[in-house]
Structure 1
């Protein structure tokens, strides 16, 4: 990355000034006219060196090797800021690297192959996946992919909550619909699941078992309803996720924590820590010792564990399976459980901050300015499948990802269906398709283009150099987004690239000498610009790949420009 090259040279120059182990922070100036990078390191060193920031900055600038830093200039500004501009040679080499590395451009080995467990979706198998699960599926998959691009060995995991009161309620709901289907006069429970999918499952039970369980509310009948309903809904959820392009390495069953004795073992181990006490017939954990606002009940007076205890047991299994880094992508309703789960794990000796959390806010679906609230099958919510069947998987995934996870997301169906640059995912994909159209018109196979055969120094127009500099940022954007778990940053970056692509493309419509191919363009200029177009394809394709979104070669649009002259 350009920032790494520049930083290394600044640190070398500071070392020559007697500064040991310097810490250099580089940032992008707010105004492009101030350069490509800036640092305030001279100001931070003023006290230690007992010199004015301006003197330190002047001395540092004189010592920096421009060629080694990849810059054309280093200028001192204000009280001691230093502004840097990348050299044309470094920009030229950057474009060649983008094209040469191709699908690998943006990848790094920062994770060094270490294992990380990313748990996401983890929906109760009590109904179809809703749009909140859709946002979580897109987020979890993108976070996983960002980590994979950064050299981590990612294990995608789905935790099935197939035990507890919600599953019992599902069994009672299916049982009631089954009884009604076989002619028994049964009132449906008020707190049951009212979606039509419950009736569908009950009808399948009738087809398979006839009236075998008519009037029978015993353990065998309820267990049969529970097992059948969970299996059917798990299969449906898996199909919906598969259709959304999301796959998992492991499905972990909550019930296995009980059947395998993990919950009981966790209770025993916590008792041995000295952080457990009994009060009011319940067993408590001193979670306040680890930053929680109050102690929490671990085992109720009934003898049943509270809901956070199996979560502690589950995360112990993650640690023991070798996942010493774990990330949970969950809804904001899990906010209250994070402190107590971490407290339980710290009591058992696991490190502070394990696991990491990405908590997302709810999704509001709008059409024509009105909220869309209900599903045809689920009854009281919009399903993930219905949403992506209507707008398409690419659009659904992008819209779920384009806002910060902790911000509420308004999913505008009208905008999602629009085929114009107002639709952000369309804008990005169309920029890629537009480059593909250039190669078709030029009758050039983009995959065979060799940047070494082109004089990239001919890319001197501001729209060209600005675009290349922006594309060179991609590895940096991936690294930052992977570390911060912020795939929305990749969306913002891709939209910025698409905007720069449009500026470059339309510059050729206004000035024939700036076109990729044409009578006013030399063969050498044309080849250089074809390499630039290939670089655009590489960055957009790789960025969309990180998000799990396709890069189409051809696209239509609602409003075709009057003149698509670039490659004419």
Structure 2
């Protein structure tokens, strides 16, 4: 089937028609035209009474074109009517909205495309001028190798995986990277904590270092430590051994969660030459100064509220210098864009990094930073205080023993990254339709059960059969409309970094199908009617499977 109507083809036809019409009717220079092209011309209406597609650009163009929005809307209607697609209705609403309603000529195409085209939800947005995909690196989790991964790391891993998948849907070539902070004071503290635990095990009366690490894992590492390292009190050697052992365990836990990285980059890989390159570049750009025997970067001149120390008064390199060197390394790897997902305690570091890369001369917009906010553990209605150095925390592995990775990911992705999450285990562990993940997966499993039953009975809809659209009513149209919206929801989720749009959409689609399934027989009815309902059902299954896959969540065929 060729030239089928989907959201993408309808949007492209409307956009082209509007742009061509504006060019012919108004005096618009190239800069203004490019600005208009960046507008979202076709939108999903917030309310059903506004139609199936809304065009709101008339209000944004009114001042520039010096015409009332209603007048511009009339021009847009003429453009839409000549775009080559027949709509059920095209209306104007004050002050200048253009509302379109879809007919089955469009929606039926959508159902076939959802089933037959694996790239139904893919876009060619994130491309270079030559058509090659943009190269985007997503760095996430990057927890210090000083202890087990925790529930906040689980949130970051869910977000990083889903965002990487979404950007791939937009046409980008995405690499997932984990930065291992295997140098610095935290590694020495780790080693000192393990050494202390071993001494306590041997009966010595010693105390853990201030700001040191505690917990069963420290005691286990102390028991496993090489006798020579212990005998020599080799803090550096213990730190290297322990941090790498912890990192390997982190990698295993992430794999069990369904997240694998393309690259693990260690801070220890950064060479003296790379550190010096950062310092020399900043010095050449007059972005360094000395004060109190320390070397500072002038981040306050590049958008931050303060300057930061890169080399301490005793000659030690700070983590800020290491991170700038790491990002120069990324830039030289020729990524077109880099996205970092940081934890809730990194707001100041985010400001420093954005200013720092600008001070280094890296183009603005190359680095994007997302803060994944705190996850609070709720038990019996109360938040629990957690922390590695307190020795009290829920590890990512413990989380997965209580709640499946699928449920964890959905709960984390169902809120904006900037929103705090209260994670209630009792709610997350429910295996009923009250659980949104179970609710969505069960809709998919129901449809797959229908497919198996139809196959066994020899009544499965034949490939590429043209169903009778006259057999569909308003109830089917409501579901088909949701299937039509799916590519746009994927685009909005990717470009806006809003995974919660996709989770909400899937839950809504599953709900509409569950209600439809309850009220209508799919099999065991007139053959043509069954074929029409199978087509609708299987298109829903294709969308749910694809959407869950994007989120890193499984789509079980049996439940």
Provide Cα deviations, 1:445-500, integer angstroms capped at 9, x if missing partner.
99985563131514522121111111111111111211122222211111111122
Partner of residue 200, structure 1: 220
Mapped contact 1:66–1:72 kept (Cα < 8 A) = no
Provide Cα deviations, 1:90-128, integer angstroms capped at 9, x if missing partner.
111111111111x33212232232211110010111000
Provide Cα deviations, 1:258-305, integer angstroms capped at 9, x if missing partner.
x45322331222222212111221212221221112222222211112
Q: Structure 1 residues 116 and 450, CA, compared in 2 at 3 Å: closer, same or farther?
A: farther
Separation in structure 2 between the aligned mates of residue 530 and residue 57 of structure 1, nearest angstrom: 39
Give how far 1:320 is off.
Answer: 0.2
Give how far 1:214 is off.
Answer: 5.6
Separation in structure 2 between the aligned mates of residue 54 and residue 196 of structure 1, nearest angstrom: 69
Separation in structure 1 between the aligned mates of residue 244 and residue 458 of structure 2, nearest angstrom: 48
Mapped contact 2:137–2:176 kept (Cα < 8 A) = yes
Separation in structure 2 between the aligned mates of residue 501 and residue 107 of structure 1, nearest angstrom: 23
Q: 2:144 aligns with which of 117, 124, 135?
A: 124
Mapped contact 2:195–2:230 kept (Cα < 8 A) = no
Separation in structure 1 between the aligned mates of residue 290 and residue 67 of structure 2, nearest angstrom: 63
Separation in structure 2 between the aligned mates of residue 300 and residue 249 of structure 1, nearest angstrom: 34
Partner of residue 57, structure 1: 73
TM-score of the aligned structures, taking structure 2 as reference length: 0.90
Q: Does 1:93 align with 2:93?
A: no
Provide Cα deviations, 1:73-103, integer angstroms capped at 9, x if missing partner.
11122343221111220111111111111x3
Separation in structure 1 between the aligned mates of residue 463 and residue 82 of structure 2, nearest angstrom: 24
Structure 1 residues not aligned, in runs of 5+: 509-514, 556-568
Q: Does 1:288 align with 2:300?
A: yes
Q: 1:247 aligns with which of 245, 257, 260?
A: 260
Q: Structure 1 residues 229 and 11, CA, compared in 2 at 3 Å: closer, same or farther?
A: same
Give how far 1:183 is off.
Answer: 4.4
Mapped contact 2:374–2:421 kept (Cα < 8 A) = yes
Q: Structure 1 residues 449 and 322, CA, compared in 2 at 3 Å: closer, same or farther?
A: farther
Partner of residue 84, structure 2: 68
Partner of residue 250, structure 2: 237
Mapped contact 1:36–1:86 kept (Cα < 8 A) = yes
RMSD of the TM alignment (CA)?
2.6
Provide Cα deviations, 1:140-188, integer angstroms capped at 9, x if missing partner.
1111111112111111100000001110000001111222334444333
Q: 1:463 aligns with which of 454, 470, 475?
A: 475
Provide Cα deviations, 1:35-69, integer angstroms capped at 9, x if missing partner.
11222444455566665544443454345336723
Q: Mapping of 1:75-90 within 5 angstroms?
A: 75-90=91-106
Give how far 1:227 is off.
Answer: 2.1
Q: Structure 1 residues 56 and 361, CA, compared in 2 at 3 Å: closer, same or farther?
A: closer
Separation in structure 1 between the aligned mates of residue 417 and residue 299 of structure 2, nearest angstrom: 27
Separation in structure 2 between the aligned mates of residue 180 and residue 466 of structure 1, nearest angstrom: 67
Q: 1:37 aligns with which of 53, 69, 74?
A: 53
Q: Mapping of 1:282-431 within 5 angstroms?
A: 282-372=294-384, 379-431=391-443
Structure 2 residues not aligned, in runs of 5+: 1-7, 128-132
Q: Does 1:497 align with 2:509?
A: yes
Give how far 1:369 is off.
Answer: 2.3
**SS across alignment from 1:380:** coil
Q: Mapping of 1:131-150 within 5 angstroms?
A: 131-150=151-170
Q: Structure 1 residues 371 and 344, CA, compared in 2 at 3 Å: closer, same or farther?
A: closer
Provide Cα deviations, 1:330-382, integer angstroms capped at 9, x if missing partner.
11211101222222222221012331011011101224323355699993111
Deviates more, 1:410-419 or 1:163-172: 410-419
Q: Structure 1 residues 125 and 64, CA, compared in 2 at 3 Å: closer, same or farther?
A: closer
Separation in structure 1 between the aligned mates of residue 458 and residue 480 of structure 2, nearest angstrom: 18
Partner of residue 222, structure 1: 235
Mapped contact 1:29–1:35 kept (Cα < 8 A) = yes
Q: Structure 1 residues 541 and 377, CA, compared in 2 at 3 Å: closer, same or farther?
A: farther
Q: 2:549 aligns with which of 545, 548, 557?
A: 545
Q: Does 1:105 align with 2:120?
A: yes
Provide Cα deviations, 1:502-554, integer angstroms capped at 9, x if missing partner.
2322231xxxxxx2123xx3211111111111101100000000011000112
Q: Structure 1 residues 294 and 456, CA, compared in 2 at 3 Å: closer, same or farther?
A: farther
Q: Structure 1 residues 413 and 328, CA, compared in 2 at 3 Å: closer, same or farther?
A: same
Separation in structure 2 between the aligned mates of residue 320 and residue 446 of structure 1, nearest angstrom: 59
Partner of residue 12, structure 2: 4
Separation in structure 1 between the aligned mates of residue 505 and residue 247 of structure 2, nearest angstrom: 36
Separation in structure 1 between the aligned mates of residue 229 and residue 64 of structure 2, nearest angstrom: 83
Provide Cα deviations, 1:227-250, integer angstroms capped at 9, x if missing partner.
221122111111101100110111
Provide Cα deviations, 1:405-459, integer angstroms capped at 9, x if missing partner.
0000111211211122221111111111111122233236999855631315145
Q: Structure 1 residues 280 and 418, CA, compared in 2 at 3 Å: closer, same or farther?
A: same
**SS across alignment from 2:345:** helix
Mapped contact 2:522–2:533 kept (Cα < 8 A) = yes
Separation in structure 1 between the aligned mates of residue 439 and residue 259 of structure 2, nearest angstrom: 24
Mapped contact 1:309–1:341 kept (Cα < 8 A) = no
Q: Mapping of 1:481-520 within 5 angstroms?
A: 481-508=493-520, 515-518=521-524
Q: 1:172 aligns with which of 186, 192, 205?
A: 192
Deviates more, 1:151-160 or 1:297-306: 297-306
**SS across alignment from 2:346:** helix
**SS across alignment from 2:139:** strand
